[in-house]
Structure 1
């Protein structure tokens, strides 16, 4: 009997120990879930969400910057076009003519030729730019035909051009000059060479008169036109 009671006691103690061990393994609340420490099972997911949000924000910022840069580039291009359009305008041409130096007698080669047939009452002066750079022909040629008449030949107002006469390198300008009326009873004097000055420019050019015997001039009738790019019917008829 004693042996049976001892076995029963041992069995009960063993069962109690096994039950306690099982409870310890499963947790204090007996549900199989650990409750002794904080729950960290959701932390990786939270971190992942934060990273995603930051990445999205960075992507948004990057897109905005790119758009801004694109807009600036576009604006720069437009400004360049406007600047280009402004530089090709009439203002540029005005500056070019205004800043072009006045031709001097060293810049041009001046020659004279008869205009029309007998009685050779007119000659044409040609001033060709030989300087290699642009220059401006001011006003009309200041001509002195005779030593005895020191005044310049007067100009005809209607022949004045509407714009400055700017000569590119190698380009010519012209001026029509009346010598006389061609009348038999005119008081004319022979001229084989005469002097020409350019208004506003320095120097004096000596021009050989056309023809073997020179030209016949009448101080009561002579007149000169303004320098022009070409002779014009009407404006240069006098």
Structure 2
């Protein structure tokens, strides 16, 4: 009886050991199956990392970069693009030609491209004629009226608005424009009379009271020219008669 009991315990122990080996993978170490079970995790992580790395190299639209295989990606804009230039406004400075919206150019008449003379007149009495001749190679314009200054005069004679022409005076090379000057009142009603020996003729630009370029200093008679507070001028005229009959 005792020997039978010992054999039963031995058989039971052997069966338990076999079951334990089967649960551990049959190699008795307990590591082979455990390693096999974990082997899929590193592979998945590596593939994910590689996928993310490749994705990070793929450029976004408009960056102008390259794909992973070196193929350029078209830009959505040009980095060196500049806005188109706006057309230059019409205007003039110092007698230089300037382009307008129509593509034409305007040259102002002034002391640099004309000769200017000042001639006192017997009739109308107390009047003077200013003549401007275009000596340049291009047609020039005479906007508004001359700006006169006798000697060191501190005021500017005004223009008679009744003499304003319908169009700006335009002089082809060799042509002349004119302006009349009332020097003093015929009835002696003017004040502050003085005799001037120097005259400066200024030119206006395309906007009122702007500079049209260099002025001119035409000669006056040796005895000078008398003027008073009645001093005024006409607008520039295309015809001499329009400047004289004023």
- Interval of TM-score (by shorter of Structure 1 and Structure 2): 0.5 to 0.7
Q: How does 1:60-71 map to 2 (within 5 A)?
A: none
* Residue in 2 that maps onto 1:225: 234
Structure 1, residues 110-140: CA drift from partner, whole Å, max 9, x if none? 101122348x400000000011211101110
* Residue in 2 that maps onto 1:52: none
How many Å apart are 1:236 and its aligned residue?
6.2
SS of equivalent residue, structure 1 residue 216: strand
Corresponding residue pairs, total: 140
| 2:231 corresponds to 1:203 | no
Structure 1, residues 143-176: CA drift from partner, whole Å, max 9, x if none? 01141x3222111101111011110001000000
* Residue in 1 that maps onto 2:60: none
Q: Is the 8 A contact 1:225 1:236 kept in 2?
A: no
| 2:165 corresponds to 1:154 | no
| 2:182 corresponds to 1:178 | yes
> Unaligned stretches of 5+ in structure 2?
1-100, 206-211
* Residue in 1 that maps onto 2:58: none
| Larger Rg belongs to | 1
| 2:126 corresponds to 1:121 | yes
Q: How does 1:65-80 map to 2 (within 5 A)?
A: none
RMSD: 2.7
> Unaligned stretches of 5+ in structure 1?
1-94
Q: How does 1:134-153 map to 2 (within 5 A)?
A: 134-147=139-152, 149-153=153-157
How many Å apart are 1:185 and its aligned residue?
7.4
| 2:170 corresponds to 1:166 | yes
**Could you say which structure has the higher helix fraction?**
1
**TM-score, reference length from structure 1:** 0.52
**TM-score, reference length from structure 2:** 0.51
Q: Is the 8 A contact 2:132 2:177 kept in 1?
A: yes
Structure 1 segments, 4+ long, off by >3 Å, are 182-187, 235-238
